[in-house]
Every structure is written in structure tokens, then in C-alpha cells.
Amino acid sequence: MTMETVSLNRSHGGTQGVHKHVSAETGTEMTFSVFVPDHAEGAKLPVLWYLSGLTCTHANVTEKGEFRAACAEHGLIFVAPDTSPRGEDVPDDEGYDFGKGAGFYVDATEAPWAKNFRMRSYIETELPALIAAQFPAEMARQGITGHSMGGHGALTIGLRNAGRFRSVSAFSPIVSPLACPWGDKALTGYIGADRAAWREYDACALIADGARVPDLLVDQGSADGFLEEQLKTQLLVEACENAGQPATIRMQEGYDHSYYFISTFMAGHVAWHAERLKA
């Protein structure tokens, strides 16, 4: 597992790194960032994954997420991968909500996307193995969070891998791709027209079908322009209530979809994960 370090910067009593490697899953070079707090020699630290939203790369949260002070305080490694494969040979779409920057954390089955768009396997299998090999990570203690499309990824990956993730949270997640235009476009293109095959990529459907995690934390801004048409937070509220899935789903008055919102509540999410990732 060869990894190249792009940059290292001292920050908040830890080291912020940006790294890249050639992915066997996507067939491309992938870039990701990792913040490692200072720690005793030989110590292993829990890991918090952050999945970004449409059009984003690893850089959005790394530069604007304001997570480092909280991660240093609680001793959490923070891993932020890219949202999709990139490169001249990777297929793309004219829209911002499909193709590069819009991988939706699925393993595509439709041509021409199936060759490269394997973000589910990249996040669930390949990158964790690299993190375990290259960083002081205790992989028995993992949490996952994300924003928007990345919130969809965090919820669905967490629900499908409940034994792996002790904690699952999200900011402004797409809670049901089965019920919104973003999801309809992406999953039709990547997975095909059989909507039954989409259920494993829909948090509300997964919960209805029996998937569970110990607890969920979701923050959603009331002034988010995507709330009514795309995010549909109320569907997750109803799914959790109907299934008895423990969840804290908070509407934050006046907040929008931006990193001004995310950075406001990031430290609280880090602390919430840290409490659940204690040894």
C-alpha cells in the first residue's frame, strides 16, 4: 500500500496531512486528508471519517471544517477522502450532481461508470486498510459523519456496517435518494432503473428493512435551500420513529447548507463521537 505525502502542517497540537495513492478500486489516483493529534509513542487512536458533499474534494472540510481543535482535545484521527474518482480517463457529466465530484458513495454497475465509480468499496474496504497500515489508528473504534451527499454516505455506510462503526452522525444529509431528484438522477445513472436495487443506498429504506445503529445524530439547518426538495429530513424522522431507531435529529434555526453551518456544530459532533469511541 504505497502512499505519497503531499503536505504536512502543524495545527492545534497535531499534524494535518494530505496524501495520495493509486486506488485498485477506482483505478485512479485518490487524494485524502488525515489529521493526527499528538499522542504517546505506540498509542492507537480512534478514527472519525468525514464524507464530503456534491462538488467537494477532501479540501473543503480540511480548510473550512474547523475540526482540528476538537479532534486534538478528544484524541481522534480525522480522515477526509475525496467524493469520487478523478482523472482525464474518468467519465463525467455536464451536471454538478453526477460524475466527478458526485460519486454518491455507491459501487456503480452501469456503463461507463462501473469501471471507476466504486466509492462504496473504496470507503468501506480499501482506504480503511491503508489508514490502518499507515497511521496510528485503532480500527476497532471508528465513527463516521458527513455532509449532504456525504451525509447520505455516512448514514448508509454506517447502517450497512453497524458492527464497524460505533457512532454515526450527519450534517444536512440526503436521507432518501429514492425520494429526491438528486438521488433519482444519480442512482439511475450509476445503478440502473431497478429501484429495488437502490434500497441499500437509502438510509430510510435501510432502516425500514431492519438496519440499525446504536444511535444517530443529525443536524439540519432550517434555512437550507435544499431542505424541502432534496434533503427531506422529516422522512428520516419518520423512519426512525416507525422502526424504533434511536436518533437525535435537530433543526437548527436560521442555518443554511454551507460550511458556516457545518463548522458551527462540528465540535459538538466530534465530542459526541468521542464519547462513543472511548476504549
Which three three-digit cell numbers place residue 39? 499522542
Residue 219 is a catalytic residue: no
The helix/strand/coil state of 5 is: strand
How many other CB atoms sit within 10 Å of the CB of residue 148? Answer: 25
Measured distance CA(156)–CA(176) in Å, rounded: 10
Handedness of CA 69, 264, 95, 115 (dihedral sign): positive
The helix/strand/coil state of 239 is: helix
Residue 148 is a catalytic residue: yes
Write down the catalytic residue from 19, 74, 152, 257: 257
Which three three-digit cell numbers place residue 182? 438528486
Residue of 65, 38, 37 whose CA lies nearest to 51: 65
Residue 257 is a catalytic residue: yes
- Backbone torsions φ then ψ of 255, nearest 5 degrees: -90, 150
Terminal CA-CA length for the chain: 28
Write down the catalytic residue from 82, 107, 219, 224: 224
Write down the catalytic residue from 148, 167, 169, 176: 148
Residues marked active site are found at 148, 224, 257
